[in-house]
Structure 1
Amino acid sequence: MSTWRPNFPISPRRRRAGRRRRKPTEQAFDCRHIAPARGVSNLLRSESFRRDHERFRRCKLNALVKSRQPAQVANRRRLRIKQAAWTNLEPARVPGMTAVPCCVDPDSPVGCLSMGWRLKAMAFRVLEMPGGKHAHYFLQRHVTRTWPRPAATLVSLQNIARRVVEDYARHVGGTPSSVLEIGAGRDLAVPLGLRRLGVAKVIASDVDRLARLDLIQHAARRILTGDVTLESWEHLERFGVCYRAPHDVTDTDQKVDCSCSNEVLEHIPPDQLVRLLAGLRAVTIGITTHSIDYSDHYARSDSSLSRFNFLKYDDAQWRPFNSGLQYVNRLRHSDYLRLFREAGFAILEESSVLGEPSAEIVDNVAPRFRQYEPADLFALRGRIVAQ
């Protein structure tokens, strides 16, 4: 194809100026420097990717709105409305459009809440395929970037460790010399916090081997004081943290002064929970203390979803959404109290935080949940300390 050339002469000076100078709109709105990386699907876009992508779209829209081309001038109002909706700028002034707030679920392989909880449940089902656990971690680490944990989250986990020590001091006295944590996670933040508080030995147990040395080192740099080297699992063992995974607690395990968990029991099927509590009763000399989240975990990353949404579904209806990576047993506070007592524990402390369900949730509770009292059914979270 031949290149078009003007049929009138152009002076060398103008030719050089045309190559050197750019149009004012192009110069003011060159968006290439903030363009996000390509090749990431809509389902896997992280919060940082979404933020960069919105900045890029806003820059391109500004370029279009400021342009002098007639067709674009005629569409300025439409473009500004889209711009306000996409960038969450004064959403109340845009008729028919609502801004979607951003948040990141640390337990989710996808960070965009506009995805919808049903689609997220489907993503969890896909990750149940062989190799899915490795893919899950890869997405959390490199796409949603929920690992390593931010400093604020590590501080909250240090407070969880401090509460365990305070519970023991209040009911037994002193500081426990050994603590068993159920569901230690990837970075062992709570065991590291317990070691900092003076616990001589911490046994970190999990049903899957999730912990990673680089994440443990990241948490240790922010939790521990002094020069502590944790370059290998042997160093971690010598430091006083024994990692056991995969491992199920049984009555043959080493006895400990205290056992604990933080938002773990709700992820254990009821039959396995009975065996776990029996094992904890056999190995715990002092007290066992647990924090439990009774809410729908899909609501953590979708502010439009009720935290009691899963109470509308019976077991058969909920089963497709209850994948292994996001499993919740949907037991209520009274169920846990009963299971602890049946395992032989005496309840020392128990408390729950009541939520405020919408009328739509109250009117559509599944038949299996209608036997519970409202204060029990609509509890968001709870704590149990037993001996």
Structure 2
Amino acid sequence: MAKWWLKAVVQKAISFLPQRERVNFLFQRYVTRGVALTDEHLGYKLEAARDHLAYYRKYGTVPPGQATALELGTGWYPIVPTLLYLAGFSRIVSIDIRNWMSRDRQLLAFTRILDYHDRGLLQPYLDQVDATRLEALREIARDPDRYTVREVNARLRLEARIMDATRLDFADDSFDLICSNNTFEHVYPEVLRDILREFKRVVKPTGVMSHFVDLSDHFAHLDPGITIYNFLQFSHRQWALIDNEIQPQNRLRWPDYCRMYAELGIPVREENVRPGSLADLHTVAVHPDIGNYPPEQLAVSHGYLIS
């Protein structure tokens, strides 16, 4: 059985179990190694933080020291919130549908970020670091047993909250920056529309939204025997049988996201896409359910939507 099929079958089975999130975490930790903070994992998180900050500096009007940020998808490691803290943001809220954070994963993230700073590797991602905040991070890393997860978050001006993003409990015009990384592709279209409506409500009129979307078949991250377009060959009905609630993939293509923004009246300031591989795309018989898009649009593999 191909690796991707095996993972699909296992995650489909896990989705029916009690405590499925914990079971999936153990599966990814010990079998697929999908939750390890590898150099590659750390690198793309640092790149995301760098890019969100760059877009904010380009389009935002409030200095970071007075700015508020909302992140969708806290995930396993608070990499992006930590860099926003070091950049000077006054309030950082990170929301998820479940609590993935632990003190060990917090500490590992801080240790890796501090190591990158001390070796001069953080500068390409964050060229201006608040020295006082850097020292606060060092203090936590030196004696992590003194603090609970909640206390650490408070020191980092981070509110890590479990919340349904379709029903945010924030006031209108609350945030200067709203961002996400590799999250939109895991949200089904009807839910994503409701999330974007809420984001439109809570972002300030002068605020910035920066969302990085991975349009690739995530099973290809594990299985080199398939391309990142493998999942485009299936009908919606077939994909519903393969897909799972643990790590769903909506299979939307870039024009679908752009159309959603337009229909919701969210103006797009900038699109920054990776074109992907037309050669790889042509190895897959794309099912008509995906949409009648030109190959260049179907092939887009990743992109930033900035509004």
Aligned to 1:192: 82
Q: Does 1:118 align with 2:35?
A: no
Out of 55, 59, 78, the position equivalent to 1:171 is: 59
Where 1:347 maps in the other structure, the secondary structure is coil
Aligned to 1:270: 189
Deviation of residue 191 (structure 1)?
0.7
Deviation of residue 363 (structure 1)?
6.5
Residues 340 and 117 of structure 1, relative CA distance in 2, 3 Å threshold: same
Deviation of residue 335 (structure 1)?
0.9
Out of 55, 70, 73, the position equivalent to 1:180 is: 70
Residues 237 and 170 of structure 1, relative CA distance in 2, 3 Å threshold: same
Residues 364 and 282 of structure 1, relative CA distance in 2, 3 Å threshold: same
Where 1:260 maps in the other structure, the secondary structure is strand
Aligned to 2:302: 381
Where 2:246 maps in the other structure, the secondary structure is helix
Where 1:351 maps in the other structure, the secondary structure is strand
Where 2:269 maps in the other structure, the secondary structure is strand
Out of 147, 157, 161, the position equivalent to 1:240 is: 157
Q: Is the 1:157–1:193 Cα contact (8 Å) retained in structure 2?
A: no
| Coordinate RMSD, CA, aligned | 2.1
Once residues 282 and 30 of structure 2 are traced to their aligned partners in structure 1, the CA distance between those partners, rounded to angstroms, is: 36
Q: Is the 2:272–2:303 Cα contact (8 Å) retained in structure 1?
A: yes
Q: Is the 1:260–1:288 Cα contact (8 Å) retained in structure 2?
A: yes
Read off the aligned partner of 1:228 and give its amino acid letter.
E
Out of 263, 277, 290, the position equivalent to 1:356 is: 277
Q: Is the 1:148–1:218 Cα contact (8 Å) retained in structure 2?
A: no
Where 1:326 maps in the other structure, the secondary structure is coil
Q: Does 1 or 2 have the higher relative contact order (CA < 8 Å, sep 6+)?
A: 2
Aligned to 2:38: 150
Once residues 35 and 167 of structure 2 are traced to their aligned partners in structure 1, the CA distance between those partners, rounded to angstroms, is: 31
Once residues 72 and 242 of structure 2 are traced to their aligned partners in structure 1, the CA distance between those partners, rounded to angstroms, is: 25
Where 2:213 maps in the other structure, the secondary structure is strand
Once residues 370 and 256 of structure 1 are traced to their aligned partners in structure 2, the CA distance between those partners, rounded to angstroms, is: 35
Out of 9, 14, 17, the position equivalent to 1:127 is: 14
After TM superposition, the runs of 4+ consecutive aligned structure 1 residues lying more than 6 A away are none
Q: Give the % identical residues.
A: 27
Q: TM-score w.r.t. structure 1 length? A: 0.66
Once residues 220 and 89 of structure 2 are traced to their aligned partners in structure 1, the CA distance between those partners, rounded to angstroms, is: 35
Q: Does 1:228 align with 2:116?
A: no
Q: Is the 2:229–2:281 Cα contact (8 Å) retained in structure 1?
A: no
Aligned to 1:287: 208
Q: TM-score w.r.t. structure 2 length? A: 0.82
Q: Is the 2:229–2:284 Cα contact (8 Å) retained in structure 1?
A: no
Out of 261, 272, 280, the position equivalent to 1:340 is: 261
Structure 2: stretches of 5+ with no match in the other structure:
115-133
Once residues 144 and 297 of structure 1 are traced to their aligned partners in structure 2, the CA distance between those partners, rounded to angstroms, is: 12
Aligned to 1:208: 98
Once residues 356 and 152 of structure 1 are traced to their aligned partners in structure 2, the CA distance between those partners, rounded to angstroms, is: 21
Deviation of residue 360 (structure 1)?
8.0
Equivalenced residue count is: 273
Per-residue CA distance 1:90-113 (angstroms, 9 max, x = gap): xxxxxxxxxxxxxxxxxxxxxxxx
What is the correspondence of 1:291-370 to structure 2 with a 5 Å cutoff? 291-358=212-279, 361=282, 364-370=285-291
Aligned to 1:6: none
Residues 385 and 296 of structure 1, relative CA distance in 2, 3 Å threshold: same
Aligned to 1:258: 177
Farther off after superposition, 186-195 or 244-253: 244-253
Deviation of residue 256 (structure 1)?
0.9
Farther off after superposition, 308-317 or 359-368: 359-368
Aligned to 1:83: none
Aligned to 2:123: none
What is the correspondence of 1:41-190 to structure 2 with a 5 Å cutoff? 115-128=2-15, 129-173=17-61, 174-175=63-64, 177-190=67-80
Once residues 151 and 291 of structure 2 are traced to their aligned partners in structure 1, the CA distance between those partners, rounded to angstroms, is: 51
Structure 1: stretches of 5+ with no match in the other structure:
1-113
The structure whose Rg is larger is: 1
Read off the aligned partner of 2:251 and give its amino acid letter.
R
Q: Is the 2:184–2:213 Cα contact (8 Å) retained in structure 1?
A: yes
Once residues 249 and 238 of structure 1 are traced to their aligned partners in structure 2, the CA distance between those partners, rounded to angstroms, is: 28
Deviation of residue 144 (structure 1)?
4.6
Per-residue CA distance 1:218-256 (angstroms, 9 max, x = gap): 101222532232621133123201001143253641511
Q: Is the 2:60–2:176 Cα contact (8 Å) retained in structure 1?
A: no
Read off the aligned partner of 2:55 and give its amino acid letter.
D
